[in-house]
Structure formats: structure tokens, C-alpha cells
Copies of this chain bind each other. A is one copy, B any other.
Amino acid sequence: MRLSQKQKELIEKIGIYFEQGMQPAAARILALLIVSDKDSFSFDEIREILTLSKSATSNGLSFLSSVNKIEYYTKPGDRKRYFKWSPSNTINHFKEGIEKILGLSNLFDEAIKLKKDKDSFNSQQLVDLSDLMSFLHKEMPIIYNKWESQRTQH
């Protein structure tokens, strides 16, 4: 199994996107599973393709499993585990990422409560920002529905 130059570059680029939130090795493993033509890879394939040590590979895979970004299956009569990207969970994670916005908006609301002068410029802006965030949060399900329906149409 060899990767094209373009695929290698893409793994690095996508890896960088993922690196905020996980170690470089894990980010690259995930990018590999997403980019590559093959749907699943064994431990040693990943290790060789990305030239990682066994420990880095093992740690990366167990991290990615623990946050449900990948899953693995086994073949009968084969002790190896085959790891694959878990796209449905990725869509959920994407949604959860948006959800996190709400957490910050709640903290902002707390901050507003503590403000003595609720009419100060800062207070007003904070109210606005929190409002935008929770508005957005409320709108998300609508957007997801809209997307679902327009997607199933064609």
C-alpha cells in the first residue's frame, strides 16, 4: 500500500486541522483513514505508512477510539484489528463542536449577571454576543433539517 504524493500532502494538511485537540500522530492517523482509498488499515500498515513507532501508533489509535473518531473490526481467523474512520460519529462531533458554543454563551450570561452597569457599552456588547450565540444554537437544528431534506431530494 503506497500513497501518492498528493495524498501524503493532504494527510499533512488535514492533520494540521486536527492537531488542535489531539497529538500530531493521532491527527495523521485520522487523516490517513479519511484520505486513503482503502477503508481500513491494520496496526502495522498504519505504523509503516506513517513511519510511527509502535507506541505512538498504539497511543494514537486508542485516543481516537476513546473519542469515537474511529472504530475497528476483526476478521474471522485473523488476530489483527482493522481500523477505520467512523464518519457518522464525525458528523456528530461536528455538531457537538457547534454545541460547545452554547457553553461559552452560558458563561457570558453569567458574566452579564455580575455586571453592575448593565447598560455600559461592554455589557451591551456582551449581551449581543451571547444572544447571537444562543440564537445560532437554536437555529442549528433547523439548518440540519433543511440540509437533510434538500439532500434527500436529489
Also in contact, A111 and B17, with CB within 8 A (given A34-B126, A39-B122, A132-B94): no
Question: Contact between A39 and B87 (Cβ–Cβ < 8 Å)?
Answer: no
Interface size range of chain A in the complex: 35 or more
Indicate whether A136 reaches chain B with its CB closer than 8 angstroms: yes
Partner of A6, one of B20, B21, B114: B114
**Which of chain A's residues 117-137 have a Cβ closer than 8 Å to chain B?**
117, 120-122, 125-126, 128-129, 131-133, 135-136
18 CB contacts below 8 A, A to B, read A6-B114, A7-B114, A13-B107, A14-B107, A17-B107, A34-B111, A34-B122, A35-B111, A37-B115, A37-B116, A87-B122, A90-B125, A94-B133, A131-B147, A135-B147, A135-B150, A136-B143, A143-B143
Contacts of A143 in B (CB 8 A): 135-136, 139, 143
Binding site for B on A (CB under 8 A): 4, 6-7, 10, 13-14, 17, 20-21, 34-35, 37, 39, 84-85, 87-88, 90-91, 94, 103-104, 107-108, 110-111, 114-117, 120-122, 125-126, 128-129, 131-133, 135-136, 139, 143-144, 146-147, 150-151
Question: Contact between A129 and B87 (Cβ–Cβ < 8 Å)?
Answer: yes
Question: Contact between A120 and B39 (Cβ–Cβ < 8 Å)?
Answer: yes
